Amino acid sequence: MIEVSIFFGLLGLLTGLGMWLISAEGDKRLFFPLTIVGMTAGWLTGLFWNYATGGLSVPLYAVTFPVIASIFTSAVILLYLPPPRISAKVSDRLAKISVGIFIALAFFISFTAIPLAGVTVAETENYTGITAQSVETMTITEEVAKTLVQPPTNQIPIEINALKSTVSLFSTLDEGVVGKYLYFKITFTVSKYNWVKPYVKILIFEDKDENGEISRGDTLYKATNYKVVTSQGSWRANVKYVNGEPSQEIFVVRWGGEDVYLPIIHGDVTRWKDDTQYTFSNTPEGYKPPNDMLSWNDDKLMETIKSFEVIPAGSSETIEGKIFCTKPGKYLMLVEAFDARYCDPFEHWFNDKPIAKKVIPFEVKEEQKPEITIDWTIGLALAGVGVPTAFLVSRRW
């Protein structure tokens, strides 16, 4: 996402400017080299962040990366390049400032890693022992389609938005590409009234008739080809073990002859196994849950919901995930939000009463000849043209 590169580039620029003011003591010959190199280091850091993570979110600790990259490249310029540069002897003031900056960065990184606990509401219902068979895929019937397109109750106004990206070398797209991962981030914004017992359900369907709606004949995307909840937080999905060994993240089960779309709860669960220690088979790279999930062994739910974490009015929460795209076509992501005060999290599909919902269409295409997108174009231009030009200008001062 180009927004990440712009943000990181500005951080790098400000860091380079700071290095010019402090380390170079305002020597005008070093202004352009330090600021341009700082911005370039920040921009390239943003490109690598996008490539590694999909670029849909930037946790607080990540903002230190362009700062560190800019400081490092500035130090190379100041200490190792031919004159003009600062003296090899570092002043006491500069040494103290440098130590102070690194201590502040270390404290910032440590602070952002501390989880913040919200207000919780205990759950009295015990779901342990539910017996149901996981469903890999299914075809939507007319009856199911009519239910899934019903409007939400809107008991709590919640706005649902989604971002998507497929990242490859030199390009970033907002649709899927066969053989690559489509990253997604869903944001739930609560406008008024607290979302007291929040949970959501997320399903992906192949839009067989390509009408942009969930309809008869559409099929559930194979569960092992996607994973939901890929970042740390309070969201808890469902994972399955077979004979005590990790199998896969699951989204639908068949219970009592009918399907149940499994809840992803925002809160805490009891513990049968610590799922963060295991890798499940979802997507070719596997799925290692960032949080402890609701665990199933074979066809039996081994844990239950201990408490829900309230999402207060005026705030937002996000869920991230990845889809491995296996074939071209049009697809639909169904996102439904619920409150356990109004609906049982393990209710059958025909009794579900979402308070908010959204269908997010996306397309998967065959891989095309790579096109360099604007964010990579700017990064390459800065590195190949901007930096040498800055040094050339500085030599003429």
Would you call 176 helix, strand, or coil by DSSP?
A: strand
Which pairs from 28-34 meet CB under 8 Å and 24+ separation?
28/397, 29/84, 29/394, 29/395, 29/397, 30/77, 30/78, 30/84, 30/85, 30/394, 31/394, 32/390, 32/391, 32/393, 32/394, 33/77, 33/387, 33/390, 33/391, 33/394, 34/74, 34/77, 34/78
Would you call 5 helix, strand, or coil by DSSP?
A: helix
- CA 225, CA 222: separation in Å to the nearest integer? 6
Would you call 158 helix, strand, or coil by DSSP?
A: strand
316 within 8 A of 356, measured Cβ to Cβ? no
31 within 8 A of 84, measured Cβ to Cβ? no
For the segment 111-133, what is each residue's pLDDT rounded down to a tens digit? Answer: 544 445 568 888 888 999 999 99
Going by C-alpha positions, the residue among 290, 225, 214 that lies closest to residue 251 is: 225
Check residue 104 and give its pLDDT.
65
DSSP 277: G
Which amino acid, one-letter code, is at 109?
I
Crossing angle for the helix pair 31-53 and 64-80, to the nearest 10 degrees: 140
For the segment 286-342, what is each residue's pLDDT rounded down to a tens digit? Answer: 999 999 999 999 999 999 999 999 999 999 999 999 999 999 999 999 999 999 999
Beta bridge partners of 166: 173
- CA 142, CA 130: separation in Å to the nearest integer? 28
Going by C-alpha positions, the residue among 346, 287, 336, 352 that lies closest to residue 132 is: 346
β-pairing verdict for 133-134 and 305-309:
unpaired
Longest dimension (CA), the chain: 81
> Which CATH architecture does the domain made up of 120-365 adopt?
Sandwich (2.60)
β-pairing verdict for 329-339 and 356-365:
antiparallel
342 within 8 A of 353, measured Cβ to Cβ? yes
- CA 379, CA 43: separation in Å to the nearest integer? 6
Check residue 85 and give its pLDDT.
47
- CA 228, CA 35: separation in Å to the nearest integer? 40
Going by C-alpha positions, the residue among 18, 8, 13 that lies closest to residue 98 is: 18
Tokens at 163, concatenated: 């971002």
State the Cα torsion 196-334-49-13 to the nearest 10°: -70
For the segment 174-185, what is each residue's pLDDT rounded down to a tens digit? Answer: 889 999 999 999
Strands (E), 299-366: 300-301, 305-309, 316-324, 329-339, 356-365
- CA 342, CA 111: separation in Å to the nearest integer? 37
Q: What is the block-wise mean pLDDT of the chain (397 residues), using blocks of 10 residues?
A: 79 81 67 81 82 74 82 76 50 57 58 58 88 91 90 94 83 86 95 94 95 94 95 95 95 90 96 95 94 95 95 94 95 96 90 93 85 75 72 59
Phi, psi of 142 (to 5 degrees): -60, -40
The answer to whether the predicted template modeling score (pTM) of the entire model surpasses 0.85 is no
b/e code 344-374 from CB counts within 10 Å (16+ = b): ebbeeeeebebbbbbbbebbbeeeeeeeeee
- Judge residue 245's burial from the number of C-beta atoms within 10 Å of its C-beta, 0-12 exposed, 13-18 middle, 19 or more buried: exposed
Going by C-alpha positions, the residue among 4, 31, 372, 337 that lies closest to residue 188 is: 337
Tokens at 311, concatenated: 């999402």
Domain definitions of the chain by residue range: 2-114+373-396, 120-365
